[in-house]
Structures are given as structure tokens and as C-alpha cells.
Structure 1
Amino acid sequence: MVDMSVALGGARLPNPLMTASGCAANGKELHRFFDVADLGAFVTKSVMAQARSGRGTPRMAETPSGMLNSIGLQGPGISAFVEQDLAWLKGVGARPLVSIAGSSSGEFADVAAALRSSDAFDAVVGVEVNISCPNVADRGLVFACDPLASAKVVALVREQLPRDMPVFAKLSPDVTDIVSVASACVRAGASGLTMINTLLGMVIDTDRMRPQLGGVTGGLSGPGIRPVAVRAIWQVRAAMFAGRFPTVPIIGAGGVRTGRDALELVAAGASAVQVGTATFNDPRAPMRVLQELETLLDAKGYAAFTEVVAAAHQR
């Protein structure tokens, strides 16, 4: 047996597998296929201050190596989320990693404050700050594309949460220097990083000769983006090893379908792995990936999952 437990920014999890935000709603849907409490953590859909209806349809488009989505952060708002979804996750014994979002830095802080004051906050194992949202106060610039804007959001969220509550900044790959954004987030108080979010993409319907998505552009996910995730994780972990900024855990995400895919992200430097798009055609994918990963580690002679984290940097 391989010891699959992992410590992430102060939170101790029984295993490193998680859902990816937005790919499993808030738990009830996936719970029909397996016990969500068996996951290391359940990552919720990004929640904002107020309820949102999201973008117009069509919202999804298949690509040869994945899919585009343009949901628009549809959700019930933080009040309904903590009363219904978070309470339900606590009731089934899950470990929620709550993803929060905002259209301004102040909204992120407001959502974090509301989360902290909720009755089920004691079940939360961390907060994932989805800074890949457009900053409406700055001409729609995505927070995660600017180190200063990213740092401001992280600092404001950090102020609203207990010092021992892990905070993970979710980074966008749509930047020229992801290391600078990662460094800014960590120095602002992030306990760790989630890498990566989707890539901005677009599909043209050549029958109608117009964009296939109602929102024109969308987030590309699936197997095609895994090499981008591996590269980004490698670069940021290498920068930590070089002493450019403090070493923190990285949660890897992007195109993971199998245990071998997960192992690639881990060897690059991830301390945990999220499974997202794969759940759309295989709802049990997160647990299957966990089992495959454990089998791989056992076959390679590892006694503990932590032994393989960033292993590729040592060769």
C-alpha cells in the first residue's frame, strides 16, 4: 500500500485527488456515482456575491482534443451556496475546497467574509481564489494576467480568513510570464497555487459562418491543454527551487484523464491533482485516476505519494 496522504498549506488530506471547479457542480450530482467524501477534497463551482444566470447559449463546443465552455460563472450566490451546498457537503463528510470569484477585488473579499461567517465553514479545507475573472474596474482585464491585480485580490481575501485557512490562487495560462504572477500571489499571502485554468479559445461554425459559442470565446479544457499545464507547473516549481519566491504547494489541473496523466503533473511539481473535463464522460474519473495513480506508484516502488512530487526536477 502506498501512503497517498498529502499536506496542502496546513490542510491534511487522505489523498491528492480533487474535482476541478465547475466540472462537478457542488457535489450532489457526482455523489450519485461515488462518495465525494472519498476524494482528498471536493472543489466547488466558483461562487460570487450575487446569483448569476451566466452567458447565453450555446455554452459548450467540442474540439478535437477537448471542449470549450462559456458558462459565465452561473451560480446561486454566496448566501444560497453556504446555506444549501456547503451545508450539504459538510453533512456527507466531504472536504470542500471552496472556489470564489468576483468582478472586482472588493467582491472577492465580500465573498470570503460571507464564507467565513457561515455555519458550515468549519468543514472547509481551503479557499481557491479564481482570479481568472475579468476585472470590471480595470477595462475588463483578467486579474490573473496582471501580477499587481492578482496580489491585491489574494491580499484582500487573506485578510478575511483565519490565518490557518489555506488560500490557493488559481492561475491563468494566458500570460507571457506565469512565474511573475505566481510570485506575486505567494508574496501577497497565498498558501498555494492551482495551475492551470482553461486557455482562451474560439470555434467557428463553418455552416453558419459565425462563432459557435454564444459568448464568442470560451475556456479550452481537456487532453489538449495538459502539456501547457505540465510546462507551467514545471516553470513555477523550478522558480521556487531557485529561491525566487517561497515554496508552496501546487495543485495541478489540466487535461488529466488517467493516473499516468496525473503522475506527469506531479513529477513536474504538483502536490495534488484536479480532474475536470474527464468527468463529463466518466463521472467516476476522479476516483479511477486516484486508483490508477496509486497502482503506478506502487509498481515504481514508491512508499508514499509525496516521494514523487517534483521528482522530474531531480533527474
Structure 2
Amino acid sequence: MNTALMETRLGGLELPNPLLTASGCGGTGRELAQFFDLNRLGAFVTTSVTARPRAGRPTPRMAETPSGLLTAMGLPGPGIEGFVERDLPWLAEQGVRTIVSVAGNSVEEFGELARRLRGVPGIAAIEVNVACPNVEDRGRMFAWHPGAAAAVVRAVRTHARPGVPVLAKLAPDVTDIVTIALACVDAGADGLTLINTIEGLAIDTGTLRPALTGVSGGLSGPALRPVALRCVYQVHAALPGTPIVGVGGVASGLDALEFLLAGASAVAVGTTLFHDPTAVPRILRELEEALTARRIARVADVVGLAHKPAGHVPPQVRPEPPVPVPDPGEAKEKPS
């Protein structure tokens, strides 16, 4: 299978393959570039950029759990000015397809970020991290309420450069993620990223206190994958024409294939990069091999296939090679 068959689309954004980094797991890009060419990615997703510089929460802000990782980083970063002056130009110089993740504490702040990015070159898409506390609503996450999430998406869509796709990144710990997804699409989202981390807690039995200074944190890693797959499956069933980036516990090509089958058009790799920074090229190779083994000709043919009736065959599946029929003359006994 050649790389052309791995192409996928996120709204109007064409990508050479469906493998992305998850926001917050690839640093500025410079860190991962030590291990592989970032142009091998479908796209690089930045750490969530905020309006002003943030130091993040004090340590400890990471804790390992069985099959997962709890983090409460507090979105550390240089702020939008530092990002635009230093990080984004470096990514553009490398020719990296860059999806900029943005985070804010008010609808106005999200709009301000979109305005600041409007005239900046080198942006392939904007990912709106609605899993942020809304300071105007007692700190409850925008992602918990359809109206609040939609207001943020609308503000970004209004102020973003026309033609730049806007993706809404949703949180899983809600009663009905489909309702929130519908609200975001109605507000102008061109696609969805599913999912952000799910809130969890770990206790340090040595100190007898919570393991994180922020008490609770976001659970990521393999433990999250079944939840993420369920969300992707449900949202794709309700919005089959909306592109989805599947995120949550992807560590192998078969993990990525599961997300594509559930309805994702692209897949982001996150927590596994912390212990295996070379994971993306390996996962991409494994995914190609998995598709080839199943005679799937194109990534597009496998997206949402798990929703089809049993026995459904994609139109682009390669046919089985014909079984050679022996020539009757060859079956006759040959003279010794």
C-alpha cells in the first residue's frame, strides 16, 4: 500500500495520513523532531495556547495509574504572543501541517485568540479546547453544557480566518455527548475531536493525600480508549458527515484502526509519546499493514465501517486473487 491510499480529510483540510499528535503531548514540536520527521504526521496539534503566559500548576501534576496517566498541568505555556513569535514560525519553517489548539476562560477570550491568529500564516486548522473552566459560570467547563460549548465555537468561527477549519474538542464526562456535539456543529464547527481526558483521582498511600496538587486530574492512556471509542461511535452515528479526530489511548496501529472503524477520519496519539517518542511512525506503519492485511484500499473506505451491517464489503476492497485453474493437459501423465 502506498502513502496516497492513507490520505484523509478533516473538513476542507487534506492530510497525507490520519495520524496526528494529541494536544499537550508533543511539546512545541522541537522535542519530537529529535526522533522523527514531523512531516510524517498527518498534522501536528499544538499544546493549548492561552491569551497570556501561564506557569501551570505546581508539582506533582502527573501520576501514573493502572493502564493510564493522571495529569493536572494547568495549561502551561508562553501565551499567544510568545507562541506566534517563537513556536509557530519554527513549525512553519519545517513545513509542518499545524493545528493550533486554543483555550480560554471566557467566550471573549476564545474570540480574542481567534482574532490574534486570523492573519498568522502556517495554521492548517484551529482546535477549540472547550474542556476549560468558564470563570463566568462558577468555573464549570464549557464542554458540560451545549449552549456554553456552542458559544465558544461560534466566537472562534466568527473571528477565525475564513477557510480555516475549526474543530471542537469535547469532554467525555457529560450525560449526552451527542447533544453537545450537535450544538457545536450547529454553531459552526467543521469537525470534532473526541475526546479530552476524563476526570479522575489518585491517592498517594505514602503521604495519605491526593497524588496531585490539584487533587483531581485528567485520565489518559489505554484506560481511556473504550470510553473514547464509545463517544466516537455515538457521535458518528448521529453526525455521519462530520469529520472526527479520535483520541484516547492509541498505542498501536490496531488501536488506530478501531477509531477509524468507529467513525473517526483521523486519530491522535498522546500519552504513549511520553514513553515512546518514536511511536507515530511505528503506529502509521502498523496501520498500513493492518489495512493491507484486510485488503482495504483506502483509509476513507474503513471510516465508520463498524456501523455497517455484518458482511458489508467496502467498495474499494481489493478482490481476492483468482485461484489458478489447472490445464487439463497438464494433468496427463508425462512420459518418463
User: Is this a same-fold pair by TM over 0.5?
Assistant: yes
Quote the offset at 1:163 in angstroms.
2.7
Quote the offset at 1:162 in angstroms.
2.5
Q: Which residue of 2 aligns with 1:98?
A: 100
Tell me which of 301, 308, 312 is aligned to 2:302.
308
CA deviation string 1:243-301 (max 9, x = no partner): xxxx2100000000000001011100000000000001100112211110011001100
Say whether residues 1:261 and 2:263 are aligned partners.
no
Q: Which residue of 2 aligns with 1:84?
A: 86
Conserved 8 A contact 2:54-2:76? yes
CA deviation string 1:51-92 (max 9, x = no partner): 001111101000011110010000000011011110000000
Quote the offset at 1:117 in angstroms.
2.6
CA-based RMSD of the aligned residues comes to 0.8
- Where 2:239 maps in the other structure, the secondary structure is helix
Q: Which residue of 2 aligns with 1:148?
A: 147
- Where 2:291 maps in the other structure, the secondary structure is helix
Amino acid at match of 2:264: A
CA deviation string 1:13-56 (max 9, x = no partner): 11110000001112000000001111010000000000001111
Q: Which residue of 2 aligns with 1:55?
A: 57
Amino acid at match of 2:52: Q
Amino acid at match of 1:217: S
Amino acid at match of 1:281: H
Q: How does 1:35-46 map to 2 (within 5 A)?
A: 35-46=37-48
Structure 2 distance, partners of 1:109, 1:240, is 26
- Where 1:229 maps in the other structure, the secondary structure is helix
Structure 2 distance, partners of 1:288, 1:166, is 28
Say whether residues 1:218 and 2:212 are aligned partners.
no
Unaligned segments of structure 1, at least 5 residues:
242-246
Say whether residues 1:276 and 2:270 are aligned partners.
yes
Q: Which residue of 2 aligns with 1:169?
A: 168
Say whether residues 1:72 and 2:74 are aligned partners.
yes
Q: How does 1:115-194 map to 2 (within 5 A)?
A: 115-118=117-120, 121=121, 123-194=122-193
CA deviation string 1:144-198 (max 9, x = no partner): 0100000000000001113311000000001010000000000000000000000
Structure 1 distance, partners of 2:239, 2:44, is 27
Quote the offset at 1:208 in angstroms.
1.3
Unaligned segments of structure 2, at least 5 residues:
310-336
- Where 1:287 maps in the other structure, the secondary structure is helix
CA deviation string 1:203-233 (max 9, x = no partner): 0111211101011111000000100011000
Conserved 8 A contact 2:119-2:161? no
Amino acid at match of 1:202: L
Structure 1 distance, partners of 2:170, 2:229, is 13
Quote the offset at 1:199 in angstroms.
0.5
- Where 2:9 maps in the other structure, the secondary structure is strand
Q: How does 1:1-16 map to 2 (within 5 A)?
A: 1-2=1-2, 3-16=5-18
Amino acid at match of 1:260: L
Structure 1 distance, partners of 2:286, 2:95, is 24
Amino acid at match of 2:56: G
Amino acid at match of 1:101: A
Q: Normalization by structure 1: what TM-score? A: 0.96
Amino acid at match of 1:20: A
Structure 1 distance, partners of 2:30, 2:41, is 14
- Where 2:185 maps in the other structure, the secondary structure is helix
Structure 2 distance, partners of 1:85, 1:254, is 25
Structure 1 distance, partners of 2:249, 2:44, is 18
Quote the offset at 1:125 in angstroms.
1.0
Structure 1 distance, partners of 2:213, 2:115, is 33
Aligned length: 307
Q: Which residue of 2 aligns with 1:244?
A: none
Q: Which runs of 4+ in 1 moved over 2 A?
A: none
Structure 2 distance, partners of 1:67, 1:219, is 8
Conserved 8 A contact 2:166-2:191? yes
Tell me which of 11, 20, 23 is aligned to 1:21.
23
Structure 1 distance, partners of 2:66, 2:9, is 36
